[in-house]
Structure 1
Amino acid sequence: MLRGDGRDAGEDSPVTEKHLTDGMTVRELCSAAITMSDNTAANLLLTTIGGPKELTAFLHNMGDHVTRLDRWEPELNEAIPNDERDTTMPAAMAEPPLTAGPPS
């Protein structure tokens, strides 16, 4: 179970704002982040893996040298022309190393 301390709930956190003290499983946080765009869920998950730079390093290690995550929610949603932060390409997300799991 991952728990926040009550200060973690940011805006656009419809699921986690109800569960910060009792906690949520990684599966529940993933569901909240993906299906409800819950920013706090995304940030709690990022925290467990070391933050945006660690996610980018993991993806690069898996062979994705295009995708990068540089900021936390909600800042990563800010779109600035020609800003390469927090970007990917559709083809990068469909590459076999990411869809098939880690190399054996």
Structure 2
Amino acid sequence: MYYNEKLSFVLVVLLTCILVFNVYASEVDTTKSATELREERIATAIENVWYKYDLASFQIGITDPIIWIETEKMDYKKEWLTYLEKNVSNSDLEHYNIEISERK
């Protein structure tokens, strides 16, 4: 009988720890800063047209407020700027300068 009580106690403690950790981990995942959310929106917009505009790479600066876009060809520079203006809110874009360059 003593063994069953001890096992039950250990299982209850273990289950409680798992639930507390799971709630804490979920809270950390869902509480993103405004900057993180802004970066995600911009990155999603850029990734949606990766192949359309021959994107080589991009980076959204954290310490430097710059969106670096590197393309295979400079043919699409105007299209990139127009696309970003139409598909990313002005309130998101106003935090960054945009630099578009050709991959070398």
Asked if these proteins are the same fold (TM beyond 0.5), I'd say no
Structure with the higher fraction of residues in helix conformation? 2
Larger Rg over CA atoms: 2
Relative contact order (alpha carbons < 8 A, sep ≥ 6): 1 or 2 greater? 2
Structure with the higher fraction of residues in strand conformation? 2
